[in-house]
Structure 1
Amino acid sequence: MTTTSSLPEHAGRRCHNVVNAYHSTVYFSPDLPAEMAKLGITDPGAAYFLTRAAALGAVGPGTVAATFYNFNYDLIARHVPHCWSVVSPEATLEARLRAADTTLRRLLGDAVDAPEMAEAAELALRATEACTRHARPLYAAHADLPVPDAPHLAYWHAASLLREHRGDGHLAALLDAGLDGLEALVTHTASGRGARQKWVLATRGWTVDDWTAAQDRLRERGLLDADGELTEAGVRLRADLEDTTDRLDRAPYEHLGAEGVARLTELATGYATTVLEAGAFPADLTGKD
């Protein structure tokens, strides 16, 4: 399907990628599991999906598995719904925002109070005005949350909305491509852009046997070769997935316009560079094992 865009090619994708780096800092921060531990959730591996899922309310493991897509259901079921008897979704969201505040202040220093931060928040929030709730459960749930007053947290909130909007669309693209959750992870890792296998297995609840079985299924489809590398068909599939995701995520960036997207990308690139240099993410997170 072809579409006409007023933006340069892949401008929305490039903007999203650097904005998402700002959003993602909290999920790699030690502050998040520390805040959750204060509330009685002591497994640091559960903090990520619990704090994102909390926007949906006290849902069960099936809803979390459906909206997160690439987590092993059994891992989720070990924590949900039991976690909601320990801490409410509302308290979980408050803990996440506290962690975002301390994390961003530590990584960015005085930049959190600079005028450019308020500008980034305004641009990102303007982009979210064109996001849509239908068939986008994680975005829709986050869109119902209030916008924080502090500019660095308002920008983080807007970045979260843009991330979830694109993410929900990406899941639709994965489903249409016939990739299950683990197959999506395997192909992404094989592309060199996704998380390393050892990190996926440590955080998503899958085993080496699960990974090997997914590779075998992908080989049967001609998407992986004998060495676990993407075939030409596999490379095309990953490219098509990103193009489809771009198309489903056009609206916020078209709404912001070329000038606004360029400025938000500029500001977001600066923040992304700063947090990366400050060690916000593991150095060996992405690539191939």
Structure 2
Amino acid sequence: MTSNPALPERAGRRCHNPLNSLHSTVYFSPEYSQELSSIGIVDDEAPFMVGRLAALGAVGPGVVAGAFYNYNYDLIAKVVPALWDTVSPEAVLGARMRAADAALRRLLGADVVASPEMAEAAELARRATEACTRHARPLYAAHADLPFPEEAHLALWHAATLLREHRGDGHLAALLAVGLDPVEALVSHTATGRGMNPAWVLRTRGWSQTDWDAAADRLRGRGLLDGDGELTEEGVALRAGVEDMTDRLDLAPYEHLGTAGVERLTELGRGFLMTAAMAGAFPETLIGKG
């Protein structure tokens, strides 16, 4: 049990958000595509999936579908297990780390990568991961078995990966608890204005417009979405409840770090993220309702 005082409300979420976004910059980087191409992965449908699933090992589509939740099984089955006829999980993980190194150096700059602030953020984030737990968290547990890199910017990125997957696994439990299926989860998240643009979702998750429209109809039938595709009052409350439950399931790392540590890591993470975003880390059309 931790002796740290209680955290301010949603402090963990506020800390997680910039670290999660900083982690995801790698998947949108040209370095990532180049590294995957260098090991023989050229399928446009694979990149957003393979970097995360490789930590699970050379598994089949069923395992990936269970861990990923909102990807279409048909897309997953198209990528794996055929992927493992081309490359090993270790090769994918190596390519991902090389891409993270190159992308972060480009987006943040050499001075930031080598700064005391980077070393401080890496230490704080790593300390937070000490309180993460493996049970019922397959993607976190798989990544937790990977070694921490020595360089500070990569240690921060790996810690951000662990914190991202820890929260993400808990988030899936929350989605199940409120009865949102994979496409309903995507549609309702996009309707908040904070989720990915539908065009990005359909392209990267393997769903069709018909799938999207059918999920929207189901949400309207539950009184969660109105005729204009906006969340109703009940829909807003349901999505807020999902995030609150996710916060509760993900509290331990931030309680372990303590209020001062969480505030400092949040400050540092936001600064790094702003620098990366200003350097063009994300597509302009990524977020929004379309």
TM-score by length of 1: 0.97
Within a 5 Å distance, the mapping from 1:95-134 to structure 2 comes to: 95-109=95-109, 110-134=111-135
What is the CA-CA distance between 1:38 and the residue it aligns to? Answer: 1.1
Say if 2:28 is the partner of 1:28: yes
Within a 5 Å distance, the mapping from 1:48-127 to structure 2 comes to: 48-109=48-109, 110-127=111-128
Within a 5 Å distance, the mapping from 1:198-237 to structure 2 comes to: 198-237=199-238
Q: Would you say the 8 A contact 1:33–1:44 is kept in 2? A: no
What is the CA-CA distance between 1:22 and the residue it aligns to? Answer: 1.3
Within a 5 Å distance, the mapping from 1:103-182 to structure 2 comes to: 103-109=103-109, 110-182=111-183
Q: Would you say the 8 A contact 2:48–2:204 is kept in 1? A: no
What is the CA-CA distance between 1:202 and the residue it aligns to? Answer: 1.3
Aligned AA (2:49): F
Match of 2:282 in 1: 281
Aligned AA (1:88): S
What is the CA-CA distance between 1:19 and the residue it aligns to? Answer: 1.1
TM-score by length of 2: 0.97
Say if 2:191 is the partner of 1:183: no
What is the CA-CA distance between 1:20 and the residue it aligns to? Answer: 1.0
CA distance in 2, matches of 1:136, 1:92: 21
What is the CA-CA distance between 1:280 and the residue it aligns to? Answer: 0.3
What is the CA-CA distance between 1:65 and the residue it aligns to? Answer: 1.1
Q: Would you say the 8 A contact 2:143–2:162 is kept in 1? A: yes
Aligned AA (1:93): L
Match of 2:15 in 1: 15
CA distance in 1, matches of 2:74, 2:45: 14
Q: Would you say the 8 A contact 1:31–1:102 is kept in 2? A: yes
Q: Which runs of 4+ in 1 moved over 3 A?
A: none
What is the CA-CA distance between 1:45 and the residue it aligns to? Answer: 2.8
Deviations 1:116-166 (A, max 9, x none): 111000000000000000000000000000000110000000000000000
CA distance in 2, matches of 1:197, 1:149: 38
CA distance in 2, matches of 1:86, 1:98: 19
For structure 1, the 5+ residue unaligned runs are none
Aligned AA (1:187): S
Deviations 1:238-289 (A, max 9, x none): 0000000000000000000000000101110100110111110111211111
Q: Would you say the 8 A contact 1:11–1:261 is kept in 2? A: yes
Partner secondary structure for residue 14 of structure 1: helix
Partner secondary structure for residue 46 of structure 2: helix
CA distance in 2, matches of 1:192, 1:66: 26
Matched positions, count: 286
CA distance in 2, matches of 1:228, 1:90: 42
CA distance in 2, matches of 1:137, 1:83: 20
Aligned AA (1:228): G
For structure 2, the 5+ residue unaligned runs are none
What is the CA-CA distance between 1:179 and the residue it aligns to? Answer: 0.5
What is the CA-CA distance between 1:44 and the residue it aligns to? Answer: 3.1
Deviations 1:211-237 (A, max 9, x none): 010011111111111111111110000
What is the CA-CA distance between 1:55 and the residue it aligns to? Answer: 0.3
CA distance in 2, matches of 1:278, 1:21: 14
Aligned AA (1:144): D
What is the CA-CA distance between 1:78 and the residue it aligns to? Answer: 0.6
Partner secondary structure for residue 44 of structure 1: coil
Partner secondary structure for residue 227 of structure 1: coil
CA distance in 1, matches of 2:199, 2:22: 24
CA distance in 2, matches of 1:165, 1:11: 16
Aligned AA (2:170): G
